[in-house]
Amino acid sequence: MGNQPRIVLGVCGGIAAYKSAELCRRLVEGGASVAPVMTEDAHRFLGEVTLSALATEAVRTSLWDEREPIPHTRLGQWADLVLVAPATARLIGAYAAGLSHDLLTATLLATRAPVVLCPAMHTEMWEHPAVQDNMALLRQRGVGVVEPGTGRLAGGDVGPGRLADLDEILRAVSVTLETAGAGAGRDGAAQDLAGQRLVITAGGTREPLDPVRFLGNRSSGKQGHALAEEAASRGGNVTLVTTADRPVAAGIRVMKVETAGEMERAVLSLAEEADVVVMAAAVADFRPKAPVDRKLKRADGVPEIVLEPTPDILAALGERKGHGQLLVGFAAETPEGSDEMRHEALAKLRRKRLDLVVANDVLAPGAGFGHDTNAVLLLDAGGGERAVPLTDKREVARVVIDTVVEMMSRRGRDAETKGRQQ
């Protein structure tokens, strides 16, 4: 964590509230100033004294504490990050609806700092469509979410809904603070995407065969998520359309999708307003033509699966590309040699009317699907070429975004020259 970040730690009334004491201790140990805000129900699970012995700031619980007339605006403005762990269904519902009935909900509405929620509740509550819809809305607004894990819940039940591991929460905190810190122009990070709207896709799509089976691929979403984080840290206004269950820095708007059809709907509508679209997702090329709504059974014999093509999202984007929009595609290849990869990638660039294609050999050691590292070849429509040897995916993302920024400023310069000549 950077130099003494200021964190408001919201604690709601769920059994996982006891874990927030340990979380508070570890945040403080990591160098943060922590101001806990407990909901009324949180007191049923955790004593105020416990948190106040561990935090650097006073524990607050009420909007009506006579010491401070407007604690929520002061806290909201003070915070570099608002972290809510555990976040209950009630808190999530109130925040999504914009309600403020207590100090924590008022602080969430009064802050401009990034917000990270760590939901924890019983499986039935977590999977309820109302809770899932609220979560989808909050993700689209750029709220960071550390997904609950699966395990033992209160009362002995087992299932999804358990507060994420503290290590995972702490990782999400540092990624968010780094991205937001760079976004605020600290750490000397270039803000060369300020004011630009980017749509970035990530992960592999899953095409259902029946309610439990799907056709998928090995994409982890790491490269697309790294691109989104890099773009956000450079001031870009980023929407990430992803199939991957990976933590995302708060501030990046997230739309979770599963199939090529869902990704198509999300991307085509978002692209209308975008300056840059980066299709890093591994979208299925084929899907089962007639998925069945009951589980296929062994006793019914081996099914014959008929496939149909999925919509080619990138080609559709190329056809309707708005004036000045920059379109970046990926080409995952299994070539015989580098010449074949270049050839295939350039063909894709022309066929789909791309401005830039990022090609990688998915069979090369350490590169492509699932790895933390990648090696790519960037080819642009103007004949430019840049090879990035094996390095981590965030570094690959940096070079891709550098190239996008260079192409955008070249276009800006060309338009200026043209304007002067007229």
Active site residues: 217
Site string for ligand C5P, 339-358 (x = CB under 6 A): ---------x----------
Minimum gap (Å) between residue 358 Cβ and ligand C5P: 8
* Residue count of the chain: 422
When the beta carbons of 314 and 375 are compared against ligand C5P, the nearer one is 314
Minimum gap (Å) between residue 136 Cβ and ligand C5P: 22
- Alpha-carbon distance of 310 to 332, in angstroms, equals 17
Side chain identity, residue 192:
D
Q: Which residues pair with 358 in a beta bridge?
A: 330, 378
**H or E stretch including 123?**
helix 123-127
Minimum gap (Å) between residue 197 Cβ and ligand C5P: 19
When the beta carbons of 7 and 241 are compared against ligand C5P, the nearer one is 241
CA angle, 160 as apex, 156 and 163 as ends, to 5°?
Answer: 85
Site string for ligand C5P, 23-62 (x = CB under 6 A): ----------------------------------------
Whether the Cβ atoms of residue 176 and residue 251 lie closer than 8 Å to each other = yes
Candidate segments 6-14, 35-43, 231-239, 310-318, binder of ligand C5P by CB under 6 A: 310-318
When the beta carbons of 1 and 313 are compared against ligand C5P, the nearer one is 313
Q: Which long-range contacts (CB under 8 A, 24 or more apart) does 145-152 make?
A: 145/116, 145/117, 145/118, 145/119, 145/247, 145/248, 145/254, 146/85, 146/116, 146/117, 146/118, 146/172, 146/247, 147/119, 147/245, 147/247, 148/118, 148/119, 148/120, 148/121
When the beta carbons of 82 and 263 are compared against ligand C5P, the nearer one is 263
DSSP labels for 11-30?
Answer: E-SSTTHHHHHHHHHHHHHT
3-state secondary structure of 301: coil
Candidate segments 23-31, 146-154, 329-337, 375-383, binder of ligand C5P by CB under 6 A: 329-337
Q: How many helices (H) and strands (E) does the chain have?
A: 13, 19
Of residues 105, 310, 325, 360, which one binds ligand C5P by CB under 6 A? 310
- Alpha-carbon distance of 29 to 54, in angstroms, equals 10
Minimum gap (Å) between residue 263 Cβ and ligand C5P: 8
Minimum gap (Å) between residue 312 Cβ and ligand C5P: 4
Candidate segments 54-62, 145-153, 187-195, 312-320, binder of ligand C5P by CB under 6 A: 312-320
Instruction: Determine, following the binding rule CB under 6 A, whether residue 258 of this chain makes contact with ligand C5P.
Output: no
List the structure tokens of 139. Answer: 């993700």
Site string for ligand C5P, 276-305 (x = CB under 6 A): ---x-x-x-x--------------------
When the beta carbons of 134 and 219 are compared against ligand C5P, the nearer one is 219
Of residues 330, 335, 355, 404, which one binds ligand C5P by CB under 6 A? 330
β pairing state of 6-11 and 33-38: parallel
Strand ranges across the sheet with 253-256? 253-256, 237-242, 197-202, 276-279, 326-333, 356-361, 373-380, 385-392
Phi, psi (degrees; rounded to nearest 5) at 178: -65, -50
Of residues 260, 376, 396, 404, which one binds ligand C5P by CB under 6 A? 260
Q: Using CB under 6 A as the criterion, which residues of the chain lie in contact with ligand C5P when the complex forms?
A: 260, 279, 281, 283, 285, 310, 312-314, 329-331, 348
